[in-house]
Structure 1
Amino acid sequence: MEYEYPFSIDWSKDEIMIVIHFFQTIEQAYERGAYRDDILTEYRKFKQIVPSKSEERRYGKEFELSSGYSLYKTIENAKSCASNQYIKM
C-alpha cells in the first residue's frame, strides 16, 4: 500500500480510526472481497462522521485517486446485493 487515507485534522482520534477502518473495508472488497453487511455497517459509521454528501464525494475522490478503489461503486454494489452476500469488486 503506497497511499494515505483521507481524513480531517478536525476529527478526534476515534473518528479518524473509524474512517480509516471504513476505507480499509473498501480496500478489502477490491483485494479479497467483503460481506455486504460489513461494508454497509462501516458505511453507516462513516456517515455519522461525514454526513455531508459533498464531503463524502470529496473524501471518496481523494481515496480513489490515491488507491484506485471507488467508494461510490463499492457502496452502490453493496446496496444492490442481497443481505450477507460476499462482494468482490
Structure 2
Amino acid sequence: MEYQYPIDYTWSTDEIVDVIHFYECIEQAYEKGIDRDALLEAYRRFKEIVPAKAQEKTLFNEFEEVSGYVSFQAVKAIKETATGEKIKVASKKLKR
C-alpha cells in the first residue's frame, strides 16, 4: 500500500513489526479473506502492545483514515466466525 501505518514510535522494533502485521491482516480480511485464527492471533498480539481501548480506537481511526479499512469490522467478525473458518469483510473503502 502507498500509505504509512499509524504507529507509536515509543514501541520497540518488534512491537512495530507486530502492529504492522496486524494492519496487514486487516487489509487481507478485506481484500481476499483471512483465516479467523490468524487474525485473532494478530489481534491478541496487537492488544498486548495496545491494551488501552482509547489508544486502540485512535489507531483504528487513523488506520481507517489512511487505508479506508475499518479495523473494528474485521475484529468484530472474529466473534461471529467459527474457528478454522475464513473471514472476508465486505469492502467499504472510503472514496478518495
TM-score (norm 2): 0.90
Question: For residue 23 of structure 2, what is the amino acid of its counterpart?
Answer: F
Give the residue type in structure 1 aligned to 2:25: T
Gaps of 5+ in 2: 90-96
Structure 1, unpaired ranges of 5+: none
Shift of 1:14: 0.5
Instruction: Trace 1:1-89 onto structure 2 (pairs within 5 A).
Output: 1-89=1-89
- Deviation by residue 1:28-85 (Cα, 9 ceiling, x = unmatched): 1111110111101000000000000000000000000110111101000111111111
Aligned length: 89
CA RMSD of aligned residues (A): 0.7
Corresponding residue SS for 2:22: helix
Tell me, in whole angstroms, the C-alpha distance in 2 between the residues paired with 1:28 and 1:4: 16
In percent, how many aligned pairs have the same letter? Answer: 48
Runs of 4+ deviating beyond 3 Å: none
> In structure 1, what residue type is equivalent to 2:79?
K
For residues 83 and 9 of structure 2, the distance between their equivalents in structure 1, rounded to whole angstroms, comes to 35
